[in-house]
């Protein structure tokens, strides 16, 4: 039995809960924690009920004018993204309760953190371009207070840079979103594109290329494509629960998700393949993945190094999307999921190090692995997976992307495949050097020799252990999810 109106519950529930928390009188920290976690868990259960019950009808909340409506629907791509987010959010909250501790600003923090959950669900369930654009912009606005949480010079400046980049990108994306909605009579997502029968007579190749590039860079701002990536490393000024979930998974992956929608469900790969816009997208994706990996090697701040790594890996996904093939989409989808799992564990491990030691830089890690063995063991598992070592999930998605590039043929796809191999070596340098410093420091440079280090709370360890287990399980048994991703890439879901 189908109840399409239920689609709005996972969107509205966190927003209502966040608003109620924000306007309430001050509460004890434990009460805030219980309240937020209960709402997040209920919301995740509702999401999974919708996914498992096969809700596939669309629901229009209201129409603005003529073909411009706010509508929601679940298809294969939205089911994947919403399922991924709904699993990660409660775990990230569990970690955040211990990390944030007692602070007068925590009520505001958790209000916006919870609101972002509902907004991300709205983006995932969007049935058309206007709805996607609306929630894309709402996600930017709801996360600005999280970036600026500490209210010092660094975090306030990071918030301003974040707002400037992402609101500017939204201005670019607004043009193709409204244009395609008007031309197609609603802009409802359709695998293969909105113009499969015939193009409007005035829609020339030059206009198509321009509209697509506005979409690619406008929505791609959240995916941190060069030269629109400076905001992401600066966003590491935010608390680790923000950088881990919102700026390693939810916000940045919403950019990749939007580019997937525009490429395969609005313009259509057949319309774009071989065009100037495809060439441009491939060039910027390949350059970004290499440039960001080099920057990660040079970076000495722990979280900023991981942020540059995220920039590089997001362009892996954009490269797969820009191939305009089913294999490329499969590679992008698999890396969307697996990179999220990997980078969550890496950021959370970095957060534990910073929380327990009060230190932030790579050179300060020497010897800490002997005091935080479990944390840095999980970090090393994530590092090996990110490099692409077989037996971990990162290998599966990187192999899919590498294969897709080789099968696509042509100069740029093969160059992209070579860039994947090069960045894997660079990834080994910027991730494993951390593990080596942590466990095997030079004898005279163990910064923690004879020192006690605060032990992380169990609530901080549970999420990293869950992500480590998922990393290994999906690496050893990829068939548990890859057939589903293949069906999405082929348009069967």
- CB of 224 within 8 A of CB of 311? yes
Asked if 28 and 36 count as a contact pair (C-beta separation under 8 A), the reply is: no
| Residue 228: Cβ within 10 Å count | 22
pLDDT at site 198: 66
On the CB side of 431, CA atoms within 13 Å amount to 32
Average pLDDT for 235-262? 85
Rounded average pLDDT over 460-477: 93
What is the rounded average pLDDT of the residues 413-420?
A: 93
Mean predicted confidence (pLDDT) in 60-79: 84
**What per-residue confidence (pLDDT) applies to 12?**
93
Which residue is it, tokens 């207070």? 145
pLDDT value, residue 29: 82
Task: Find the range with the poorest average confidence among 117-121, 337-341, 363-367.
Answer: 363-367
pLDDT value at 433 more than 70: yes
Q: pTM for the whole thing?
A: 0.92
pLDDT of residue 1 exceeding 60, the answer is no
H-run or E-run covering 69 = strand 68-72
The closest of 99, 142, 100 to 123, measured between CA atoms, is: 142
Alpha helices in 273-325 (DSSP H): 276-298, 302-322
Give the residue with greater pLDDT, 111 vs 55. 111
pLDDT-based confidence at residue 259 (cuts at 50, 70, 90): very high
| Mean pLDDT, the chain, integer | 88
The domain spans of the chain are 273-493
Cβ proximity of 285 and 423 under 8 Å: no
pLDDT digits (tens, 9 = 90+) for 20-36: 888 877 778 888 889 99
Q: What's the pLDDT at 66?
A: 67
């Amino acid at each position: 039995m189908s109840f399409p109106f239920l689609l709005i519950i996972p969107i509205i529930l966190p927003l209502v809960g966040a608003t109620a928390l924000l306007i309430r009188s001050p509460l004890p920290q434990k009460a805030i924690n219980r309240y937020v976690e209960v709402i997040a868990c209920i919301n995740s259960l509702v999401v999974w009920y919708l996914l498992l019950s096969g809700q596939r009808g669309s629901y229009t909340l209201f129409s603005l004018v003529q073909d411009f409506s706010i509508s929601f629907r679940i298809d294969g791509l939205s089911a994947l993204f919403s399922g991924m987010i709904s699993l990660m959010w409660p775990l990230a909250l569990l970690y955040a309760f211990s990390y944030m501790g007692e602070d007068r600003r925590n009520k505001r923090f958790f209000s916006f953190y919870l609101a972002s959950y509902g907004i991300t669900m709205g983006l995932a369930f969007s049935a058309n371009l206007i709805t996607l654009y609306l929630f894309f912009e709402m996600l930017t606005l709801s996360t600005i207070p999280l970036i600026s949480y500490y209210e010092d010079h660094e975090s306030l400046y990071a918030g301003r840079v974040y707002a400037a980049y992402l609101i500017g990108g939204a201005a670019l994306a607004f043009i193709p979103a409204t244009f395609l909605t008007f031309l197609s009579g609603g802009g409802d997502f359709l695998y293969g594109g909105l113009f499969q029968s015939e193009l409007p007579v005035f829609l020339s190749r030059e206009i198509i290329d321009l509209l697509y590039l506005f979409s690619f860079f406008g929505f791609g701002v959240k995916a941190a494509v060069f030269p629109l990536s400076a905001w992401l490393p600066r966003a590491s000024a935010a608390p680790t629960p923000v950088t881990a979930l919102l700026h390693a998974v939810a916000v940045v992956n919403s950019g990749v998700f939007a580019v997937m929608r525009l490429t395969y469900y609005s313009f259509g790969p057949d319309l774009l393949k071989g065009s100037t816009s495809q060439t441009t997208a491939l060039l910027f994706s390949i350059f970004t993945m290499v440039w960001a990996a080099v920057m990660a090697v040079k970076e000495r701040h722990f979280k900023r190094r991981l942020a540059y790594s995220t920039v590089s890996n997001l362009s892996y996904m954009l490269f797969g999307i820009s191939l305009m093939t089913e294999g490329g989409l499969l590679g992008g989808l698999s890396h969307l999921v697996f990179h999220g799992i990997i980078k969550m564990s890496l950021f959370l491990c970095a957060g534990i190090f910073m929380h327990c030691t009060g230190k932030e830089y790579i050179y300060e890690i020497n010897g800490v692995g002997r005091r935080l063995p479990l944390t840095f063991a999980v970090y090393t598992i994530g590092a090996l997976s990110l490099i692409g070592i077989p037996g971990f999930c990162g290998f599966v998605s990187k192999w899919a992307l590498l294969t897709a590039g080789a099968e696509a043929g042509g100069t740029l796809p093969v160059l992209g495949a070579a860039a994947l191999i090069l960045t894997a070596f660079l990834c080994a340098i910027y991730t494993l050097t951390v593990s080596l410093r942590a466990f095997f420091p030079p004898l005279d440079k163990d910064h923690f020799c004879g020192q006690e280090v605060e032990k992380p709370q169990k609530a901080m360890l549970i999420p990293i252990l869950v992500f480590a287990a998922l990393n290994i399980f999906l690496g050893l048994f990829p068939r548990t999810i890859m057939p589903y991703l293949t069906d999405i890439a082929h348009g069967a879901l």
